[in-house]
A and B are shown apart, each in its own frame.
Chain A
Amino acid sequence: MPILTVKFADEDRRITFAPGRSARELLDETDIRVRAGCNGSGACGLCRIRIAGGNAGEPSANERATLGAGLLSQGVRLACQVKPEHDLDVEILNPAPPSAWRSLDTGSGTSSLPGPSPMPDPKGEHPLGVSVDLGTTHLSITLLDLASGRRLAGRRGLNPQETAGADVMTRLMAAQSAREAERLSLQVIGAIGDGLRDIAVREGIDLHRVGRVVLVGNTAMLAILSGRNHLLLLQPRYWTETIDCLPMETASWSATWGIGPAAAIKVIPPLAGFVGSDLLAGVIATRLTEQCPGALLIDFGTNSEMALWDGDHLWVTSAAGGPAFEGCGISCGMPAEPGAITRVAVAPVTGELAFDVIAGAEPRGLCGTGLVDLLARLVGNGTLNVKGQFAPSVPDDGFPLTPGKGELVLTKRDIDIFQRAKAAIGVGIEVLLAKAGMGHNDLRRVCIGGVFGQSLDIASATEIGLLPAIPGRSVETAGNTALSGCEALLYTAGVDERLRDARSRARIVNLSDCPDFDTLFLEHLYLQPIAPV
């Protein structure tokens, strides 16, 4: 039988195989795993490998689409598309992260959540609470001392369901089979348990002290978690309706998580088919409905959710711009992990680009904020025009980020994908303002949620029109607002009342009902400041 050799810096691993299956399927049976996000359809471009020897066959149309001629010519391929027939040597370019859980830094950002008051608990007797933000891509978990409201530990990890589809639609499609739906539910319950155990082991905390758990998330993730009504979400008419996705039982969850059997587990119901309780939690965290009117919250993600408070109503919508803000689907993109470029500056004299790289490593790719900075700099120095077209001096296959070192090239297609994601947000802002009868000048506060928001350079984002310009007023990067809101729901007195109020004032807006979507979308494709209308 032929052999698939996986080359690592220090060793070679050999896998014998029978032809007919993709390299990704072969790898998935081992402990060597490559990242994946589209159920192997070749659309997400995550499962990158490099062919180091042997014949991998002609690239598929999908590989040409997602990788482009540049990467293909360097031997880069997609593991889910390559079906080896003979011996083949490969390198894994995009391995699945070995440790799924990363610690959350405690309390960054400028969220207006009141700071926790210290209240020592030397004997470890205070009851504990857990808050969970269930996102399509990431899971975030924090453990709180319920007596003091202090965050004891936090973890952030990948949602393991990613392999069944990085976007909501693909995942819902996978969940059409009852067996797969059950597997996905158990998988995410298991992952929350893993995160909690990681905290328990490393921080030495007894999980039996957990008396309360609160979960927020987007509607699709909560429905898949509870195994209820997720298939309704495939039908557009349910997007603006309430979806019942509260779990039938949670005793098995407590058992899996190893928390107190009497712990109260509460899933915060989403607002509608496409607006989750993560957005509501964000509204609570930023006190959006409790301060001045003209407050806008944008929770950036694959499916960015937004809310605008006009003093009376909370206008909410969601804009599925795609995962560009997470560095996904971009040929030179990557998540905000070590090696990711987060900021780009122009050196004053030479005009050369200078990068900030996470963990100071060699740059391996651009994360969302790096991409925003880069585009702003390139438009600023005339390398790119506001339509997203390169100057004639830029090579045909794109703008080389690290000249001479190959690999990192910003392509025209990358820019196009970013422009679309940005335009979807832009239409969302315009439509919410129109519904509220407000103009750009009425905006007093813009709160930015999501990990992307945390390291976003506001000036760059404003220059290319990702955010509205609100001179002299405040743009708050509020971090993971869904999670901090979830924490508030866990321990703050009176917060249920605030949540009920926000819910009753919410008005759901469906962007696909917008009659002049095309025109607004076109205006927001431009990489230029949003012109107040």
Chain B
Amino acid sequence: MATIVNKYVIEQVSPMHNQNMNRLIDVLLEGDQARAVAEAMSLKNGGVEDERIIADAIEPAMGRLDAKCTLEQFNLLEIMLVGRAVTGVIRALYPDAPPAPSRETVVLASLEGDVHDLGKNIVRTIMTAKGYRIVDCGKNCPVENLVDAAVREEASIICISGLITSVIPSVREVVPLARRRGLTMVRVVAGGAALKQASADTLNVDYVADSVFDVIRYLEDHPGELS
């Protein structure tokens, strides 16, 4: 059944350029923000377009990070460092204003009763780098405020990060409230250490993501219109 489609158009690039891109990927993965910014700026000053740097270095670096987000390989420090390096490079490339988001709007929060927000912030960093428009409703956020934000911002995705088990009852309220408020198409995704062990059914959400990359894959595989 499976047909493999090669999505990539191989362009004529100099070996020199390739080498520099690979070096940028390496320093990004090492999480070395200062060197990553320096490498990116030297590419940019050498005439490489911002879009190329994103597509040929940041994207592949995040792809390799994705592979490390398995349970066995996960290391929080590594992820946070790469997240910071990527943000640093994007900020250096677009010093005046961040690039306009190319993908859907996501509202994101840790729910009332939960003040953990490290996980949520990582989701924000990576999804922003991937081109989503993120509206961060913060931590300890009542379900009503989250759904209000989704209505106001015309979001197509609601992401909930949960680190303590006591928020599970609130997580279960999100979809019903969103539907009552007329958000029939919005997809609700849960993640974070206290939620990722549960099934979508028990949490009453559309999807439970293992990692931020998992949710991106899910969203790519299930485009909004089809939901």
Contacts and interface: CB of A to CB of B under 8 A. Distances in A.
B197 A518 contact: no
Interface in B165-203: 165-166, 197
Interface in B118-139: 118, 121, 139
Interface in A31-76: 41-43, 61-62, 64-65, 68-69
B72 A411 contact: yes
B197 A412 contact: no
B99 interface: no
A42 B197 CA distance: 9
A397 B197 CA distance: 22
B74 interface: yes
Contact of B113 (A236, A396, A416, A420): A236
Interface residues of A, number: 35
Nearest to A165: B165
B75 A416 contact: yes
Interface in A271-305: none
B71 interface: yes
B72 A387 contact: no
Interface in B76-129: 76-78, 80-81, 84, 113, 115-118, 121
Interface stretch (A110-118, A140-148, A169-177, A458-466): A169-177
A387 B78 contact: yes
B81 A64 contact: no
A521 interface: yes
Interface string A510-528: 0010000110011001100
Contacts of B156: none
A419 B197 contact: no
A4 interface: no
Contacts of A389: 75, 78
B27 to A, nearest CB: 14
Given A236-B140, A420-B76, A521-B118, A65 B71 contact: yes
A416 B74 contact: yes
Contact of A234 (B113, B121, B197): B113
Contacts of B197: 41-43, 61-62, 65
A517 B163 CA distance: 16
Interface residues of A: mostly helix, strand, loop or mixed? helix
A236 B71 CA distance: 29
B73 interface: yes
A69 to B, nearest CB: 7
A415 interface: yes
B222 to A, nearest CB: 20
B151 interface: no
Nearest to B121: A518
Given A236-B140, A387-B78, A389-B78, A172 B72 contact: no
A236 B115 contact: yes
B165 A517 contact: no
A419 B165 CA distance: 22
A190 B116 CA distance: 35
B217 to A, nearest CB: 17
A517 to B, nearest CB: 7
B76 A416 contact: yes
Contacts of B113: 234-236
Contacts of B81: 387, 522
B72, B77, B84 interface centre (most CB from chain A within 10 Å): B77
Contacts of A411: 72
A169 B72 contact: no
Contacts of B140: 236
A387 B75 contact: yes
B164 interface: yes
Contacts of B31: 387
B75 A234 contact: no
A235 B121 CA distance: 22
B116 to A, nearest CB: 8
Contact of B166 (A173, A412, A420, A525): A173
Nearest to B115: A512
A498 interface: no
Nearest to B114: A236
A427 to B, nearest CB: 11
A210 B165 CA distance: 41
B121 A526 contact: no
Contacts of B73: 412
Given A43-B197, A61-B197, A65-B197, A517 B72 contact: no
A173 B165 CA distance: 8
B7 to A, nearest CB: 30
Given A234-B166, A521-B118, A388 B77 contact: yes
A387 B165 contact: no
B166 A169 contact: yes
A512 B77 contact: no
Nearest to A415: B75
A255 to B, nearest CB: 34
A68 B166 CA distance: 26
Contact of A397 (B72, B115, B118, B165): B72
Given A43-B197, A235-B113, A525 B74 contact: no
Contacts of B80: 518, 522, 525
Interface of B: 31, 71-78, 80-81, 84, 113, 115-118, 121, 139-140, 164-166, 197
Given A396-B72, A412-B72, A416-B75, 18 more contacts: A65-B71, A69-B72, A169-B165, A169-B166, A170-B165, A235-B113, A236-B115, A236-B140, A387-B31, A387-B81, A388-B78, A416-B76, A416-B77, A512-B115, A512-B116, A518-B117, A522-B81, A525-B77
Nearest 5 A-B pairs (CB), nearest first?
A512-B115, A525-B77, A416-B75, A169-B164, A522-B80
22 contacts: A42-B197, A61-B197, A65-B71, A169-B165, A169-B166, A172-B166, A173-B165, A234-B113, A387-B31, A387-B81, A388-B77, A389-B75, A397-B72, A411-B72, A412-B73, A412-B75, A419-B75, A521-B118, A522-B77, A522-B80, A522-B84, A525-B76
